Amino acid sequence: MPLTRTLGVGSQAAASAVATYRRTITPPDDLVIPTSPLLVYAMPRLTFWFRQLAGVLGCTVLPEFAVRSVDGLVQPAIEWLPLGPPVVINPAPTNPTILSFFMPARLVRVSLTRPAGQPTTVDLVMAGSL
């Protein structure tokens, strides 16, 4: 039978940290649309889940991370870096696209670009965990 009391085995109690962000996005035009950032301090396992609800061609997504701010004109600006190359997600709503990364970051976000002229709707979830 496993020990379930941490006081009896000489370790300390720890809680699992998880942060999530879920949105349904319909880009209004063909420009790059960034999401709001998600704070993921001390949660290096980053998971991005995408499901395209409308559109025949797959939307292009670019997961991004930030580890610091840089000098801006009036206030510090967040320096966004790509987590990998842009990915065209599966346009079938029954087959979501999942991307996983391990990166110690401060913030994460996703930049979306719809196929030229195609009305597109995408469900997305960003998550950070231990």
- 90 belongs to a structural domain: yes
- 14 belongs to a structural domain: no
Coil, strand, or helix at residue 7?
helix
Domain span at residue 54 reads 35-129
- 24 belongs to a structural domain: no
- 9 belongs to a structural domain: no
- 8 belongs to a structural domain: no
87-122 pLDDT tens trace = 999 999 999 999 999 999 999 999 999 999 999 999
Least confident of 3-17, 66-80, 90-104: 3-17
- 2 belongs to a structural domain: no
Q: Could you tell me the CATH number of the domain that includes residue 84?
A: 2.60.120
17-61 pLDDT tens trace = 899 999 999 999 999 999 999 999 999 999 999 999 999 999 999
- Single-letter amino acid code for the residue at 94: T
- 101 belongs to a structural domain: yes
Quickly count helices (H) and strands (E) in the chain.
0, 12
Q: In angstroms, rounded to a whole number, what is the distance separating the alpha carbons of residues 90 and 94?
A: 9
Number of domains in the chain: 1
